Structure 1
Amino acid sequence: MRKYPVRVDVFINSKAGRANRLALEEPIREALFRCNIRFHGPETALESQRQIRRVMEKGTDALLICGGDGTLNQCLQPLLEGRDRGLEPPPIGVISAGTANDLAAELGLSRKVDRAARSIIEADYRSVDVLEVAAGNEKKYIVTNGGAGLPADTARLANRLRAAVSYGGGLFGQLGAFGTSAVGNLARSLASLAFRKMGSHIYELFLLYYLVAWKRDQWRLEVKSGKRQFITESPFVMVNNQTSLGGTFTPAPATSNGDGTFNFFALETRAGIFELKALWDLRRGEMPAQSKFHSFETDSVTLRSLGERQITFFGDGEIIYEDVPEVTVRCHSPGVRIFTNSENGDNP
């Protein structure tokens, strides 16, 4: 008979897109009333990682992470570092409360807080592959999608805007766009409302902006994967550990996050109108009909910059490297254990 966890450590990112600590704690307590629950509310990524390390050293039966893909990514780093030291990461429950919740959508996890929390005691877990992204002597980990070029620029702008909305600093703080006046506070509130209402669709808006502003003559990549080796000027380069991202784009409809491989995708179209059409096809869940692209499954790929512009790489919605000459992505399987709902009938 399965031993249910008795100690659950709950991490709530109150700065995630839809997270509200007070609104989350009560249904979690009710759903897991038989468990020994410890709540954590880290204010920064570094604090989150320090707390995860302490939890792993003390021991726990399960983690419950409340936030989006970025929150999960912050927790993932110390979990995988701990495994390198012989500490097995505990299974993870996920409550979707971020701007983008791609992993939860891919796994069909419930959006209802109480049901997602109960998955820890009612449901089983499955192994999800982890992608290691190395640059120089550093290595970081992601579980959903990542990439370079336009997708990375889009993620960076979205994160800067979110920081400005949350903290009054960052991009708009530096430009004085919001400030501390009543008008500035109103602007910040409206921007925050836009984030909450648009959710992951905010990325589509930023992607269109960068598609127009992209400087093609500065970008050139060498791609190596096994016996494959080619040069691309594609502004849209992705590594996909699951089929879709942002809730709408589907660059890898046939890939899986549990088979030990990931998908590499690069859109080769150079004319803006055809790029726009190709992105629209991806948004509808179709492969680009009138565009050339590279798409293949692999367990490792290396990207090296040959142009004036270096590589900025994002993963799980977060910028993990900026302006590096080369990155290598490798698949680790088995990866981390994620609780899944025993039935998905209540997913909206």
Structure 2
Amino acid sequence: MTAPEPGRRAAGRVALVVNPSAGKGRAQEVLPEIAGRIRDAGHTLDIWLSRDFGEARELIHKAANSAADVVAVMGGDGILHLGVNEAARAQLSGPSAPTLGLIPAGTGNDLCRGLDIGEDPLKALDVILAGHERQIDLARVGEAFIGTIVATGFDALVNRRANDMNWPKGSARYPLALMAVLRTFQPLQYQLTIDGVRRDLDAMLVAVGNTRSYGGGIRICPDADPSDGLLEVTIIHPVGRPTLLRLMPSLYTGKFVSDPCVELLRVRDITIDGPGLVGFGDGEMIGAAPLTVSQVPAALRVCLPPIPTR
């Protein structure tokens, strides 16, 4: 067999863990074509279907500690969050652990969006089959790795409200949840320790980003780069409801950062504390304050598109 190019993998074994209900059944629908393309590319394929979050965690743990060359995870941001954590832990334990492949099939797909993989599952599979891999940074809170954003304020309350909504499905929940929380929201008290320096302030939110977006494309940390060894922190200082409503459309483009109420920081670690604050990471509850978010450089080896040459 001809040796692969540097940064590329040869054909091997792929362990594919799927949440078949993700994206209103989108994952189940596209699975036959995904499986066929992997086999047609010469890979040996094992498919593991999860029925719930707990089973998904168990299957991904087994796959990440198996003899596979790639553990590919297909579904929404919840199961991709599990993939990030189990693959990172396995890789930190040994260099022969599988590379992580990400196939978006949910409604938010913020991790794949932030890694420039995109939202199309078949195009994401092409990234895996192309064989390019790179190390990326991760945020860490306690024992949990975070690929996207740690939310701790207004955004965390919106996340919680959206998670509790039975209707509508998908990312359409977030604007509705936002409007519901906005009716009664008041600025929150924060005690921050930023790279060792204490700072007390009131704010609407403090978001800490490894990648750019959450909530189905809200670019809350628009310049976050998961390969620069730093976290991007976005602080929205106290404003009235009319200002927040005015800023809403520009949250999806990142242009809101030009407003005077927005402050951006680049940090290595930040501790967030304050009365009643809770944190969400990758859309999952990670606990109550105080929360220390640290950047872990080159923590995860993942299949990614090649860096464009200039």
Q: Give the TM bin, normalised by the shorter chain.
A: 0.7 to 0.9
Given that 2:26 and 2:106 are in contact with CA atoms closer than 8 Å, whether structure 1 keeps it comes out as no
- 2:243 equivalent to 1:268: no
What amino acid maps onto 1:96 in structure 2?
Answer: P
SS of corresponding position for 1:72: helix
- Partner of residue 143 from structure 1, selected from 104, 123, 147: 147
- 2:88 equivalent to 1:80: yes
1:159-198 alignment runs, 5 A limit: 159-161=163-165, 164=166, 191=167, 194-195=168-169
Partner of residue 271, structure 2: 302
| TM-superposed deviation, 1:30 | 1.7
- 2:53 equivalent to 1:53: no
| TM-superposed deviation, 1:266 | 1.3
1:1-348 alignment runs, 5 A limit: 1-2=3-4, 3-33=9-39, 34-86=42-94, 89-134=97-142, 139-161=143-165, 164=166, 191=167, 194-195=168-169, 199-216=170-187, 219-305=188-274, 307=275, 309=276, 311-321=277-287, 324-341=288-305
Given that 1:120 and 1:339 are in contact with CA atoms closer than 8 Å, whether structure 2 keeps it comes out as yes
Deviations 1:110-150 (A, max 9, x none): 5444442232232412222111012xxxx211101121122
Deviations 1:298-348 (A, max 9, x none): 11000112x3x2x21111122222xx230000111102122224699xxxx
| TM-superposed deviation, 1:105 | 1.7
Q: Which whole-Å CA distance do the structure 1 matches of 2:266 and 2:240 have between them?
A: 26
Given that 1:267 and 1:292 are in contact with CA atoms closer than 8 Å, whether structure 2 keeps it comes out as yes
SS of corresponding position for 2:129: helix
TM-score normalised by structure 2 residue count? 0.87
What amino acid maps onto 1:45 in structure 2?
Answer: F
Deviations 1:17-54 (A, max 9, x none): 24445423211122111211111112222222222222
SS of corresponding position for 1:252: coil
Q: Which whole-Å CA distance do the structure 1 matches of 2:196 and 2:285 have between them?
A: 29
Given that 1:16 and 1:71 are in contact with CA atoms closer than 8 Å, whether structure 2 keeps it comes out as no
Given that 2:72 and 2:100 are in contact with CA atoms closer than 8 Å, whether structure 1 keeps it comes out as yes
Decide whether aligned partners of structure 1 residues 227 and 74 sit closer, same or farther in structure 2, where only a CA change above 3 A counts. closer
| TM-superposed deviation, 1:288 | 4.3
Q: Which whole-Å CA distance do the structure 1 matches of 2:264 and 2:120 have between them?
A: 35
Q: Which whole-Å CA distance do the structure 1 matches of 2:303 and 2:141 have between them?
A: 24
What amino acid maps onto 1:43 in structure 2?
Answer: R
Q: Which whole-Å CA distance do the structure 2 matches of 1:80 and 1:343 have between them?
A: 22
| TM-superposed deviation, 1:238 | 0.4
The two structures, once aligned, show a CA RMSD in angstroms of: 2.4
Partner of residue 188, structure 1: none
| TM-superposed deviation, 1:215 | 4.3
Structure 1 gap segments, 5+ residues each: 165-190
Identity of matched residues, %? 22
Decide whether aligned partners of structure 1 residues 336 and 19 sit closer, same or farther in structure 2, where only a CA change above 3 A counts. farther
Q: Greater relative contact order: 1 or 2 (C-alpha under 8 angstroms, separation 6 or more)?
A: 1
SS of corresponding position for 1:60: coil
Q: Which whole-Å CA distance do the structure 1 matches of 2:90 and 2:131 have between them?
A: 25
SS of corresponding position for 1:32: helix
Q: Which whole-Å CA distance do the structure 1 matches of 2:282 and 2:113 have between them?
A: 13
Given that 1:278 and 1:291 are in contact with CA atoms closer than 8 Å, whether structure 2 keeps it comes out as no
**For this pair of structures, how many residues does the alignment match?**
300
What amino acid maps onto 1:12 in structure 2?
Answer: V
Q: Which whole-Å CA distance do the structure 2 matches of 1:78 and 1:108 have between them?
A: 21
What amino acid maps onto 1:203 in structure 2?
Answer: Y
SS of corresponding position for 1:260: coil
Deviations 1:40-98 (A, max 9, x none): 11222222222222223332100111112221112223333334544654222222111
Deviations 1:192-241 (A, max 9, x none): xx42xxx434312211221222244xx31101112532112212220111
Point out the more displaced range, 14-23 or 88-97.
14-23
What amino acid maps onto 1:329 in structure 2?
Answer: V
